[in-house]
Amino acid sequence: MSLLDEMNEKATNRGVPLSAHMDITWRCNERCVHCYLDHDGKGEMTTDEIKDVIRQLADAGTFFLSISGGEPLLRRDCFEILEYARALRFNVKLKTNAVMIGPKEAVRLRKLGIEQVQISLYSHRPEVHDAITKLPGSLRRTTDAIKHLRANNIKVSVTNVLMQLNRRDALAVKQLAQDLGVNFVIDPTVTPMLNGDRSITKLGVTFDELQEIMRTEEFVGDVAEFCSPVSTVGDDVLEGYSCSAGHTLAYISPFGDVFPCVQFPMPCGSVRKQSFNEIWYHSPAFNELRSVHVRDLHTCSQCSHTAYCSRCPGLAYMEGDMRGPSSADCEKSYARTGVPSAAMMRGTTPIPQVHSGLVQISGLQ
């Protein structure tokens, strides 16, 4: 067990929110086609309110702090907020599209000791990347920014959210990341909008494409190992939790609303009405979430994928039941192993059609 795993375990046992994700604005200078946020800035927390929340997080024991948005650098006080967080000794990650990062901003970020800048990169081709962000010139500006950041030795991680629009560019984006000297993460999940609208999920990769991704060595490493089903589930898995949301992770919106995770829109309270600690330790919603062990998941606890499934309780919540399966993760497990999930076997989640043959014939089932 790594030192960080040990600290995570201690944090879980003590109920410490070791990680927090703060969106300081939902406004953005891009209009990504798959974005799950609306971009209304009305009622955002003030600088003082945000600093007060950050101070409360430090008191609560938070170590990892992600400052995000929207585009966080659209706030004029973004650097003031980052500086405040670093003065309180947080490990700070900045999630940004980076189009506002020039040489001066890169130097400022280096001087602040920002741990990592996380940036979405959709394609190596401007006609694809810019079509997704709807901001002409955004690929050039983002890659220029990455060069400025790297020139200052700032760690950068690019996330390649895969959609049908850019699926074919993933390997080239990985190569671009390598050429720029930055980390590369692939993400095949398009998250529904926080207001429940699922229409944007149609932009996601098809099942066939997902299968192909799961069988591409450059993305998953040893394909045979990655795709082999593991059916044994130990008590440690059943006694555990699906993820850290609400256990060691909290999300705070630009309006002061607290949730278990940015992808888990279950309202737990508002820091404008209560202290963060009051919400974290006493919110009925947080406490209900914490009572749910893997063993309590009515379908997933019986599933052969349980040991390695990336089940997201937030996506399950958005589908109507945080104790239920997340169909997107059922699809991933199926694409990975070829074995249907328990939800698929029960018919509550549809089994995706596979079009692997040269000829597709319908109407014969």
Partner 1 sequence: MASAEMYLSQSADIAARTLGDDTLIMSTIDSTIFVLNSVGTAIWNAADGKTPLSQIVHERVCAEFEVNDDEAYADAKEFAGQLAEHGILRIFEEPHSPSEAP
Q: Which residues bind partner 1 (CB under 8 A)?
A: 2-4, 6-7, 10-11, 14, 16, 18, 58, 61-63, 89-92, 113-115, 155
DSSP conformation class of 192: P
C-alpha distance from residue 316 to each of 244, 297, 346, 349 (Å): 15, 11, 16, 12
Q: Which is nearer to partner 1, 3 or 358 (CB)?
A: 3
Closest by CA position to 156, among listed 180, 124, 135: 180
Dihedral (CA of 108, 114, 139, 38) sign = negative
CB of 304 to partner 1, least distance (A): 35
Phi/psi-derived region of residue 89, left when phi > 0, alpha when psi is between -120 and 50, beta in every other case: left
Q: Which is nearer to partner 1, 90 or 255 (CB)?
A: 90
Q: Which is nearer to partner 1, 60 or 73 (CB)?
A: 60
CB of 7 to partner 1, least distance (A): 5
Number of H helices, E strands in the chain: 16, 9
**What is the C-alpha separation between 159 and 120, in angstroms, rounded?**
5
**Alpha carbon 358 to chain centroid, angstroms:** 36
CB of 107 to partner 1, least distance (A): 15
Q: Which is nearer to partner 1, 154 or 233 (CB)?
A: 154
Q: Quick one: tokens of 225?
A: 């190992």
Q: Which is nearer to partner 1, 247 or 332 (CB)?
A: 247
Name the pairing type of β-strands 116-120 and 91-95. Answer: parallel
CB of 90 to partner 1, least distance (A): 6
Q: Quick one: tokens of 258?
A: 């607290």
Q: Which is nearer to partner 1, 7 or 292 (CB)?
A: 7
CB of 10 to partner 1, least distance (A): 6
CB of 9 to partner 1, least distance (A): 11
